[in-house]
């Protein structure tokens, strides 16, 4: 057994000595070829994407292979087209005509997603420009069809959620009918996830007319409140006047000269008790009441030159 192992080891060393140069050259050639061809034999697929193989020598588009994320090897002559499998969002501005023939511009934001398992068929029968070829035209057609059935008032104020849902369903159906692979019915390649209205605008003269109409409508709606406030104010004044009249009727019998004189003396006494300087003027007659003028020390006294 030992002799066999020794002979095998000796033969291996002899073979290596004879083929060392060939082995080194082969390794060098292999590494050089791998470095040169590396960009051609691998593809890096980022997160949220998949790759579709096109084999020009063997059958064209590979309908059964979907390359997942990461570094993937391929033959140098094969090509890989990447598709985004996440939910994508795009905006499109559409000129629409409502049922009452009002022309306006509507900016629509739409979200869509491709079916990952059907991407090879999407690539073969539609191509990577499927958004501009089918998705966006389907959205535009559905928007115009849905808005065209409604008046200008209902289209943008009645039930926005219902209109958006109708556009989404119409777009989905249009895409199914437009890009189904030959011989296959109702194959879902792209799905519309959501539709949202971002902005809409009317022609300037129409916007001015709508603004004026809204202002006049607001004024008309405020008139009942103004009239009600005026009625309440008139009622308040009537109640106030009635209260004054009753007060005067009550106190009129007691308004004698003695009562008025007593009230005047009482007011004069309160004024006299204040600390300010005053000038007292006495009235004439038995019922004359003194008139007190206060704050005399704060009033500058000027001489009357004309009287000298």
Digit-coded pLDDT (tens) for 167-197:
888 888 888 777 766 666 667 889 899 888 8
What pLDDT score does 308 carry? 38
Task: Kindly tell me if the per-residue pLDDT of 41 is higher than 90.
Answer: no
- The tens digit of pLDDT for each residue in 229-286 reads 888 888 888 888 888 877 777 776 766 666 666 777 777 777 667 666 666 655 555 5
What pLDDT score does 307 carry? 41
Distances from the Cα of 207 to the Cα of 41, 94, 103, 132, 200, angstroms: 60, 18, 11, 32, 11
User: Which of the pair, 306 or 99, is modelled with greater confidence?
Assistant: 99
Distances from the Cα of 182 to the Cα of 120, 177, 242, angstroms: 14, 11, 93
How many Cα atoms sit within 13 Å of 193 on the Cβ side?
13
What pLDDT score does 292 carry? 56
What pLDDT score does 86 carry? 93
Q: Are 113 and 89 in contact (CB under 8 A)?
A: no
User: What pTM was computed for the model?
Assistant: 0.57
Mean pLDDT confidence for 277-299: 56
Task: Kindly tell me if the per-residue pLDDT of 88 is higher than 80.
Answer: yes
């Amino acid at each position: 057994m030992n002799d066999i192992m020794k002979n095998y080891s000796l033969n291996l060393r002899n073979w290596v000595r004879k083929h060392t140069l060939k082995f080194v050259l082969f390794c060098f050639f292999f590494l050089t070829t791998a470095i040169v061809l590396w960009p051609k034999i691998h593809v890096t697929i980022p997160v949220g994407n998949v790759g579709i193989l096109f084999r020009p020598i063997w059958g064209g588009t590979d309908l059964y292979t979907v390359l997942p994320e990461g570094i993937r090897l391929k033959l140098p002559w094969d090509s890989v087209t990447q598709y985004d499998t996440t939910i994508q969002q795009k905006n499109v501005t559409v000129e629409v005509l409502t049922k009452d023939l009002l022309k306006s511009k509507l900016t629509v934001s739409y979200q869509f997603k491709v079916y990952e398992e059907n991407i090879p068929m999407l690539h073969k029968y539609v191509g990577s420009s499927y958004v501009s070829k089918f998705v966006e035209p389907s959205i535009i057609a559905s928007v115009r069809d849905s808005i065209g059935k409604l008046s200008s008032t209902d289209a943008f104020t009645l039930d926005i959620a219902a209109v958006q849902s109708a556009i989404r369903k119409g777009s989905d159906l249009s895409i199914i009918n437009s890009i189904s692979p030959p011989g296959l019915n109702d194959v879902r390649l792209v799905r519309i996830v959501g539709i949202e209205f971002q902005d809409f605008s009317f022609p300037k003269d129409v916007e001015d007319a709508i603004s004026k109409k809204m202002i006049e409508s607001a004024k008309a709606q405020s008139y009942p409140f103004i009239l009600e406030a005026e009625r309440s104010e008139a009622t308040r004044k009537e109640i106030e006047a009635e209260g004054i009249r009753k007060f005067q009727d009550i106190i009129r019998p007691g308004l004698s000269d003695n009562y008025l004189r007593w009230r005047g003396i009482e007011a004069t006494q309160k004024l006299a008790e204040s600390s300010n300087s005053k000038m007292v003027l006495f009235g004439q007659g038995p019922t004359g009441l003194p008139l007190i003028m206060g704050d005399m020390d704060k009033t500058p006294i000027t001489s009357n030159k004309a009287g000298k």
